[in-house]
Amino acid sequence: MATLNTKLALSSTDISSDDLGISISSTLTVGPPSIGVSKVAIAAAGGTATTLVPSGAANQYVYIKHTGYQADGSTATTNQVAIELASNADLLRLSPGEFCFFTSKSSSVVEVLSSSSQTILVEYAYWSEV
């Protein structure tokens, strides 16, 4: 078993009439299977979705980032990356530079696909909950 330290901080002085200041930290206990921070070029729209996280015996903590680059290293346009469950239902979308961290239930398969004709480079990792 290992620990994964997480922290989310949101702040702004001009988002509303009140200042925003949220900071949440947690220590998660994780174990195998896991995939360390990796990069993969994902298929363009109309292609086959790329599986990032297979179903497993435990819930997984998932990190995904749209790097803002195409597979050939050139800058991606403003297209999005669709994060889907195996049922092809969009879970969420990421624009260039955006990222997410979420818990996926054990029976879910997490897949990604570009929303345009570009093959996008995605950074990802996952760790299994213990």
How many alpha carbons lie under 13 Å from residue 37 in its C-beta half-sphere? 4
pLDDT at 78: 65
pLDDT at 69: 95
pLDDT exceeds 90 at position 46: no
In a domain, 1, yes or no: no
Residue-wise pLDDT tens digits, 102-119: 999 999 999 999 988 889
In a domain, 102, yes or no: yes
In a domain, 14, yes or no: no
pLDDT at 87: 66
Q: Is the separation of the CB atoms in 112 and 52 below 8 Å?
A: yes
Q: Is 62 helix (H, G, I), strand (E, B) or coil?
A: strand
Residue numbers of the domain that contains 112: 30-129
Q: Closest Cα partner for 114 from 85, 87, 78, 86?
A: 78
The mean pLDDT value of the chain amounts to: 93
What is the number of residues in the chain?
130
The tokens describing 111, both together, are: 């897949």
In a domain, 8, yes or no: no
In a domain, 20, yes or no: no
Residue-wise pLDDT tens digits, 69-107: 999 999 987 689 999 987 677 889 999 999 999 999 999
In a domain, 6, yes or no: no
Amino acid 12 reads S
Quote the number of domains for the chain: 1
Integer Cα distance of 122 and 114 in angstroms: 10
Q: Is the separation of the CB atoms in 94 and 102 below 8 Å?
A: no
Residue 74's CATH number: 2.60.120
In a domain, 9, yes or no: no
pLDDT exceeds 70 at position 52: yes
pLDDT exceeds 80 at position 35: yes
